[in-house]
Amino acid sequence: MLKTVIVGASGYTGAELTKMVHLHPELELSGLYVSENSADALTPISDLHGTLKGLVDLPLQPLKDVAAVAKGADIVLLATAHEVSHNIAPTFLAEGCKVFDLSGAFRVQSDSFYTHYYGFAHQYGEWLEKAVYGLAEWNDAAIAQADLVAVPGCYPTASQLALKPLVDAGLLDLNQWPVINAVSGVSGAGRKASMINSFCEVSLHAYGVFTHRHQPEIAAHLGCDVIFTPHLGNFKRGILATITAKLADGVSVEQITEALTTAYADKPFVRPLGAGQSAKLQSVQNTGFCDIGWAVKGQHIILTSAIDNLLKGAASQAMQCVNIRFGFPVLTAIV
């Protein structure tokens, strides 16, 4: 049994991680942590997330001595704020823990990215370089060897899983930037009180237009420019990305279908639905799946990609990475 610690366990992603670690036959949930000054410290996690009651009633511990916690852990799951992950991951790594970071702190190998989009200067260039981007279906060989896995953002996961097979195969005319419109459930904003997330204020709208930090993350890992517009939707969980792109000359729908089905032939968590099909949020909510649909007309393609933002967009993708890293069957604790 691998001793597993979750830091930032009080949030929605933390709760999902907690449940999966609890159910995982090879992992032992050895500690749930929150920041030292959190109002949730010492509260049983099931008081915050009633769904866990009777399953996991452990109290949330204030994280004081990182090194001491690290010494007792084999696996660390960081569901922490970006800068917190940045600050504490090296300590866990120094003690030999395998670290799976769900924040943005180690996703893009560029210093200016962090100052511009995250508001802090990155201090750990070495770890940034060693970090493996945890897009599980694409980087499994590297993940299997990694000490530090940077689990992708929710929007980048939905976007890349649809686009990557086409970009890699040269099927798109990238002179015209792909347009990614995506709608996220409110849980994507985290578990906190704010006017923006207030029930009566939520209705569909775009935000972060031209400025969202997931645009450079997508572009960096896809290797091409994209236009990305996130939206807040009036639902709790899930992301639907609708992607419009121009095809390279002479590309047929059959080539598209071939590229997508081949890419995911042995990847159970990505379900290519077929040409003429459209991904539906409901089919993936509360699951670790990504559904992808597509249609072609003339020189254009429209793809739809749906995931659960808290699972395939965060917690279950982290668990996929854990399973890959340690050689456990890929569905373990997820399906």
| Interaction site with a second copy (CB under 8 A) | 12, 23, 49-51, 53-55, 176-177, 179, 181, 183, 185-187, 191-195, 197-207, 209-210, 227, 229, 231, 233-238, 240, 242, 244, 268, 271, 273, 278-287, 289, 291, 293, 295-297, 300, 302, 304, 306, 335
Task: State which residue, 3 or 191, has the beta carbon closest to a second copy.
Answer: 191
* Token pair in block for residue 192: 């906190």
* Token pair in block for residue 24: 């995982």
Task: State which residue, 76 or 247, has the beta carbon closest to a second copy.
Answer: 247
> Active site includes 154?
yes
Q: Alpha-carbon distance 247 to 166, whole Å?
A: 9
Q: How far is the CB of 334 from a second copy (least distance, A)?
A: 12
Q: How far is the CB of 95 from a second copy (least distance, A)?
A: 33
**Residue 230 near residue 206, CB atoms below 8 Å:** yes
Q: How far is the CB of 295 from a second copy (least distance, A)?
A: 4
Q: How far is the CB of 197 from a second copy (least distance, A)?
A: 5
What single string gives the DSSP state of each residue in 6-74?
EESTTSHHHHHHHHHHHH-TTEEEEEEEEETT-TTTTSBHHHHSGGGTTT--PBPEEE--HHHHHHT-S
Task: State which residue, 8 or 128, has the beta carbon closest to a second copy.
Answer: 8
CA 165 to chain centre: 18
Burial (0-12, 13-18, 19+ Cβ within 10 Å), 199: exposed
**Which amino acid is residue 255, in one-letter code?**
Q
Catalytic residue selected from 154, 200, 290, 321:
154
Catalytic residues: 154
